[in-house]
């Protein structure tokens, strides 16, 4: 996690009781998470551009952030808006390296096989691929890579580190 974003979270957590979000602010956050410009956001919410600009600045101040990516990241972190509210358009416009995935609820697309669960357990212990091949009696590195790709696909992960993290969060491994 970016150290600046972490600082914002720590500040928010320390004053979390004083943060109150009203329904219209949640709606504004949901529309902002779709990646629209402030002008289009104003049209979608049937209000003026200046009103949206002021309300957005108020949210920046309330969450102690200074850009839309951090605003949406904080809203996701505190479950103010669902991860599904964030669209690809938002990611394309505001996220060079998307940190939003860090706060997504992990999803298991398909059940994992016993071998895939064992692969995750061994990976979580810091085992390397060649050690995993030996312990699981896999045929070769190509098959090991296939199992890895299936694990990542089923856990909606980009790499084994994220897959292990998601597996812990889903209580698949301990």
pLDDT of residue 16: 47
What local confidence, expressed as pLDDT, does residue 3 receive? 56
Whether residues 22 and 59 fall in one domain: yes
At 52-109, the pLDDT tens digits run 999 999 998 888 888 888 888 888 888 888 888 888 888 777 776 545 455 556 778 8
| Structural domain that includes position 126 | 114-169
Classify each residue of 46-57 as buried b or exposed e, where b means 16 or more C-beta atoms within 10 Å of its C-beta.
eeeeeebeebbe
Over residues 83-99, the pLDDT tens digits come to 888 888 887 777 765 45
Are residue 93 and residue 7 in the same domain, yes or no?
yes
Q: Is residue 16 domain-shared with residue 54, that is, in the same domain? A: yes
Do 98 and 14 share a structural domain? yes
Residue 48 lies in a domain: yes
121-172 confidence digits (pLDDT tens): 999 999 999 999 999 998 888 988 999 999 988 888 888 988 898 888 888 8
Q: For position 94, which CATH number holds? A: 1.10.10
**16 and 63: one domain?**
yes
Q: What is the pLDDT of residue 98?
A: 47
Which pLDDT belongs to residue 157? 85
In a domain, 109, yes or no: no
145 assigned to some structural domain: yes
Position 28 scores a pLDDT of 93
The structure tokens listed for 83 are: 């991860």
d(CA 139, CA 134): 9
pLDDT (0 to 100) of residue 1? 47
Q: Which residues, at least 6 apart from 39, have a Cβ–Cβ distance to it below 8 Å?
A: 49
pLDDT for res 51: 94
What is the count of structural domains for the chain? 2
**Shared domain check, 29 and 86:** yes
**pTM for this one?**
0.49
- Do 78 and 30 lie in one domain? The reply is yes
**Is residue 43 domain-resident?**
yes
* pLDDT, position 99: 53
Q: Do 61 and 133 share a domain, yes or no?
A: no
33 within domain boundaries: yes
Residue 10 and residue 95: Cα distance in Å, rounded?
22
- Whether residue 9 sits in one domain with residue 46: yes
């Amino acid at each position: 996690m970016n150290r600046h974003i972490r600082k914002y979270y720590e500040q928010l957590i320390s004053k979390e009781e004083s943060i109150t979000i009203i329904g219209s602010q949640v709606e504004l956050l949901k529309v902002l998470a779709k990646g629209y410009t402030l002008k289009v956001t104003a049209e979608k919410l049937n209000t003026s551009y200046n009103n949206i600009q002021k309300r957005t600045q108020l949210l920046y101040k309330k969450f102690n952030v200074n850009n839309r990516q951090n605003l949406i990241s904080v809203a996701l972190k505190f479950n103010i808006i669902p991860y599904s509210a964030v669209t690809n358009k938002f990611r394309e416009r505001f996220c060079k390296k998307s940190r939003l995935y860090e706060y997504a609820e992990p999803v298991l697309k398909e059940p994992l096989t016993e071998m895939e669960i064992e692969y995750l357990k061994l990976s979580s212990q810091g085992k390397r691929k060649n050690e995993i091949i030996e312990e699981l009696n896999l045929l070769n590195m190509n098959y090991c890579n296939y199992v890895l790709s299936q694990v990542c696909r089923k856990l909606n992960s980009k790499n084994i580190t994220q897959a292990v993290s998601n597996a812990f969060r889903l209580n698949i491994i301990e």
